[in-house]
Chain A
Amino acid sequence: MLNQIRNFSIIAHIDHGKSTLADRLLSLTGTIEQRKMREQVLDTMDLERERGITIKAQAIRMEYKGYIFNLIDTPGHVDFSYEVSRSLVACEGAILLVDATQGVEAQTLANAHLAKENNLVIIPVINKMDLASADPERVKEELKNAFSIPAQDVLYSSAKTGQGIEEIIQAIIDRIPPPKETDASHLQALIFDSHYDAYRGVVARIRVFNGEIYPGMNMRVMSTGKEFEVQEVGYMKIELVPCNKLSAGEVGYVIAGVKDVRDCRVGDTLTDAKNPAPKPLHVYKEAKPMVFCGFYPVDGDDFEALKDAIGKLQLNDAALHYEQETSAALGYGFRCGFLGLLHMEIVQERIEREFELDIIATAPSVIYKVKLRNGTSKFVDNPSLLPSAAEIAEIEEPYCCLTVISPSEYLGAVMELVKEKAGKFISMEYLDPTRVLMIFELPLSRIIVDFHDRLKAVTRGYASMDYEITGYRVSDVVRMDIMLNYEPVDALSSIVSREQAQFVGRALAAKLRTLIPRHQFEIPIQAVIGAKVIARETIAPMRKDVLQKCYGGDITRKRKLLEKQKEGKRRMKRIGRVDIPQEVFLSVLKMNK
């Protein structure tokens, strides 16, 4: 049985064809009938479909010619490297899928290295061979330079036309080793994903490494010691298919009446309560949130609803952290921690879509380490809570190591961008004569908001990037506050480098002038550091907005217009006498060039 199982994932850059390949595998193995095939079955969340990315790890079981394939899909975005790591350790192999027209990208590089570190067998596949611009020889050279992959190991495919899919399946069978059981006497199962179902409670997706798990058994979650009676186990096909038991090497799900996902944390090990394993499978380093921002309800009455919404999202998102905070400007809300900006945007969008709440997200911030003159030190993840300059001895901020892969013609533009973001060049290496891999070091705060967009812009979309936090460094930064109509708006405070403060302050004030609608009175906007005003703009007052004509036929039209105006205002936050649109709060760090 064990010998017939192959557990694998697909490592690919966005748009290199991962979902299409997965769809091909599903249909060739008869897991899903062609006519029932929704495009890209694995990306089930609407948001994922819209953004063309996979956010949560998914898994699916296929049966083919006596073999069982478990495809564990992994997230593709740089923010979710944590989730990638969890998924990869559940596999024995990985398909490294590279676009024949694009070549190796930075994210692929990072994930493939992660796979190698975990001793996964890698099957290199050059995809999109149907395209006229396919250049497999160049990509092969890149694979060789980047991963030491011998040319003869490389497979060719077109997930779109179906070319090469059977060869891939054969390679999965031939090259990926079957799972091994090292200790049949003790159950050890790894949770690689866990989500909350309103009807069934927590559904944990697991990979069984040793022993077996079956209904009626008392399972123990090893990090907490909590025990639950297993109610159901089964396989993930297109739907959940219950079975009698899951044995070593198998991938499936377990339902055990767990009400809180925090009791079934991803990365944790399940064992048999009666006969527990001596130790867990892995000691996971839990992913630490690196980007923080405040979430506030637009309508203060929605605070409880927001609390409920974030709590529910956290049920399925171990990486999401939150705690209650208060802003003088925005009232009661939550300080939330995320893996990165995409993660933050996804959570924000889900709160707005799935829970229909209007929220304000304040500018994202990294976490600063502040040493005070009194000898103590503290972490600050909210710019408005940075102590006054007089109290501070030194501030440190997180730095990261950034990998960029780009066509060499954009090398200058990439260098320029990194320089603008206060980055330092470390090294570079040509993957092939036309593509170059560059390593930089720069403050995390400078890449969390728009770096990726900017990189794409200056390289016409050709460059890719990945980053890794390397540690804290002393930094010369100051807190810049924004005053609207002479009142400070704490939610608009930001931490900026001292030398850039004036430039950023001016740009931000100018931006706010365009974003904040005119009011019936003049609104001065000031950027200040301490008591010093470094930039000022003025929003001219609205003089006249009245619709002069209103007769019988106009009444319904006019009402609609007024409703629209009111709706626009409802989505704004009133601070003092000033109504502020939500996008204002995100504009702050975007200015932080």
Chain B
Amino acid sequence: MRAIYIHIPFCVRKCDYCDFVSFPGLDENTIGRYVDAVCEELEAKKHFLSGGISTVYFGGGTPSLLSPARLERIFSVMRRTCPKFPDGQEVTLEANPGTVDVNKLRTFRELGINRISLGVQSFDNNLLKLLGRIHTARQALDAYDACRRAGFDNVSMDIMFALPDQTIAGWEKTLSTAVSLKPEHLSVYNLQVEEGTPMWEKKYSPQAGNKLAFPGEEEDAEMYLLAVRYLGQRGYNRYEISNFALKGRECRHNLNYWENRDYVGLGVAAHSCVNGIRQSNTCVFADYLVSPAESVVEKWPSTALSRRQETLFLGLRLSAGVETELFAGYEKDVRELLADGLIEETDGRYRLTEQGVLLGNRVFARFV
């Protein structure tokens, strides 16, 4: 069984912080050609899926921009590849609140989508505007409501902290609004200001002046710890550094990454891991359209050691941690990390301590 990731690189407009591969404002004809290309790639890679499909994830970009007809095209190929699909697998689609209504969502559900990941980010219109989001807080609430009315019983929300001008109190309000909606799952991220994005300009360009107050590391840590505490008290277990879920509602597709298992990525810029070998498709849209079946442009060498290292630094992201036996050969690092209070051992597994979570990169860097 392998997980499938399908990249949908379209959006209405790029958010100011986004550095993903996504192309705003493409016409329907181009989108149609892209979907054809994804189907062709899927067809070409179907031998990877001979053992079955474990989960499917439509990520973006904004996958909810796709018309149900185009989604159906992709589903039909998956069904051909794997006759029993969908058969209880988790099938997630990322949705932007500004692009969905109850009817569209209902069709998605009928196609076989059974989990929605809603990009809410904030319930503060000022912050949404500042992030360059295309929707308002009202639309986010409506979209969530529409998901429920369309019958989705597994909804996740993305919310962001460490935003410019965001206060601790404001962040707590975001958390309380999110929790009041009772989503099954929450992904909680700090704002990463990446070079080349408009947000970078806002933060670093001399013209930006000091109009925006970007929170420092200290506030970032404080907001994160607040989220862990606030959500934990309300039944949302932090099962991964940035992911919280009600019992049994962890995202199976993403767990697959952290447990270092194979996945097949389709579409422009998609990454795959097949038999432990990581590879990525071209980021060039035109190149992908020309030869989707041969779009892999980079492969990373894989060794038993590099595989185990990945198992360690990915697995440590999970609150479940990693079995102590897998740390063989890293005794000195483990000893130092234990002494520094960054990891702890329980039930034969090493996991990050609270401080270890905050300083995760210091821990992970030991295992590369």
- Asked if residues B365 and A566 are in contact (CB atoms below 8 Å), the reply is yes
Question: Which chain A residues lie closer than 8 Å to B74 at the CB level?
Answer: none
Question: Which chain A residues lie closer than 8 Å to B314 at the CB level?
Answer: 550, 555
Interface presence of B270 (CB below 8 A): yes
- Asked if residues B242 and A552 are in contact (CB atoms below 8 Å), the reply is no
Report how far A175 CA is from B355 CA in the complex, Å: 79
Question: Which chain A residues lie closer than 8 Å to B48 at the CB level?
Answer: none
Report how far A577 CA is from B192 CA in the complex, Å: 30
Question: Which chain A residues lie closer than 8 Å to B257 at the CB level?
Answer: 550-552, 555
Given A548-B190, A550-B314; A562-B365 close (CB under 8 Å): yes
A residues 532-561 in Cβ contact with B at 8 Å: 542-553, 555-556, 558-559, 561
**B300, closest chain A residue (CB):** A556
**A570, closest chain B residue (CB):** B365
Q: Which 6 A-B pairs have the closest CB atoms?
A: A546-B360, A544-B221, A553-B271, A543-B221, A548-B242, A565-B365
B344 to chain A, nearest CB (A): 15
- Asked if residues A556 and B359 are in contact (CB atoms below 8 Å), the reply is no
- Asked if residues B340 and A545 are in contact (CB atoms below 8 Å), the reply is no
- Asked if residues A559 and B368 are in contact (CB atoms below 8 Å), the reply is yes
Contact of A566 among B271, B342, B355, B366 (CB under 8 A): B366
Given A552-B257, A552-B271, A553-B265; A546-B241 close (CB under 8 Å): yes
Q: What size tier do the contact residues of chain A reach?
A: 20 to 34
Question: Which chain A residues lie closer than 8 Å to B224 at the CB level?
Answer: 544, 548
Interface presence of A345 (CB below 8 A): no
Question: Which chain B residues lie closer than 8 Å to A520 at the CB level?
Answer: 340, 342, 355, 359, 362
Report how far A549 CA is from B18 CA in the complex, Å: 13
Report how far A133 CA is from B62 CA in the complex, Å: 65
Question: Which chain A residues lie closer than 8 Å to B313 at the CB level?
Answer: 559, 562
List the count of A-B residue pairs having beta carbons below 8 Å apart: 96
Interface presence of A569 (CB below 8 A): yes
B297 to chain A, nearest CB (A): 12
Interface presence of A325 (CB below 8 A): no
Question: Which chain B residues lie closer than 8 Å to A569 at the CB level?
Answer: 365
Interface presence of A563 (CB below 8 A): yes
- Asked if residues A565 and B278 are in contact (CB atoms below 8 Å), the reply is no
Q: Which residues of A contact B (CB under 8 A)?
A: 520, 542-553, 555-556, 558-559, 561-563, 565-566, 569, 577
Q: Which residues of B contact A (CB under 8 A)?
A: 5, 59, 188-190, 192, 217-218, 220-221, 224, 241-242, 254, 257-258, 263, 265, 269-273, 278, 280, 300, 310, 313-314, 317, 340, 342, 355, 357-362, 364-368
Contact of B278 among A544, A545, A556 (CB under 8 A): A556
Given A559-B368, A562-B364, A566-B365; A553-B220 close (CB under 8 Å): no
Chain A binding surface SS class: loop
Question: Which chain B residues lie closer than 8 Å to A544 at the CB level?
Answer: 217, 220-221, 224, 358-359
Question: Which chain B residues lie closer than 8 Å to A577 at the CB level?
Answer: 340
Report how far A478 CA is from B355 CA in the complex, Å: 42
Question: Which chain B residues lie closer than 8 Å to A565 at the CB level?
Answer: 361-362, 365
Given A553-B271, A553-B280, A556-B280; A562-B300 close (CB under 8 Å): no
Question: Which chain A residues lie closer than 8 Å to B310 at the CB level?
Answer: 555, 559
Question: Which chain B residues lie closer than 8 Å to A561 at the CB level?
Answer: 361
Which one of B270, B300, B364 has the greatest number of beta carbons of chain A within 10 Å?
B364
Report how far A273 CA is from B28 CA in the complex, Å: 95
- Asked if residues A545 and B359 are in contact (CB atoms below 8 Å), the reply is yes
Question: Which chain B residues lie closer than 8 Å to A558 at the CB level?
Answer: 364
Given A546-B241, A548-B241; A553-B358 close (CB under 8 Å): no
Report how far A283 CA is from B216 CA in the complex, Å: 68
Report how far A566 CA is from B199 CA in the complex, Å: 28
**B225, closest chain A residue (CB):** A544
**B342, closest chain A residue (CB):** A520
Report how far A546 CA is from B218 CA in the complex, Å: 13
**B243, closest chain A residue (CB):** A548
Question: Which chain B residues lie closer than 8 Å to A542 at the CB level?
Answer: 217, 359, 362
- Asked if residues A546 and B265 are in contact (CB atoms below 8 Å), the reply is no
Contact of A545 among B242, B360, B368 (CB under 8 A): B360
- Asked if residues B361 and A552 are in contact (CB atoms below 8 Å), the reply is no
- Asked if residues B300 and A547 are in contact (CB atoms below 8 Å), the reply is no
Question: Which chain B residues lie closer than 8 Å to A545 at the CB level?
Answer: 358-362
Report how far A439 CA is from B65 CA in the complex, Å: 80
Question: What are 13 residue pairs bridging A and B, where the CB atoms are less than 8 Å apart in the complex?
Answer: A543-B218, A544-B220, A544-B358, A545-B361, A546-B360, A551-B254, A552-B263, A552-B271, A556-B278, A559-B313, A559-B368, A562-B364, A566-B366
Contact of B189 among A543, A549, A552, A566 (CB under 8 A): A549
Report how far A355 CA is from B229 CA in the complex, Å: 52
Report how far A559 CA is from B368 CA in the complex, Å: 7
**B340, closest chain A residue (CB):** A520
Report how far A550 CA is from B314 CA in the complex, Å: 8
**B341, closest chain A residue (CB):** A520
Report how far A559 CA is from B313 CA in the complex, Å: 9
- Asked if residues B361 and A562 are in contact (CB atoms below 8 Å), the reply is yes
Given A550-B317, A556-B271; A543-B366 close (CB under 8 Å): no
Contact of A546 among B269, B278, B357 (CB under 8 A): B357
Contact of B368 among A546, A550, A563 (CB under 8 A): A563
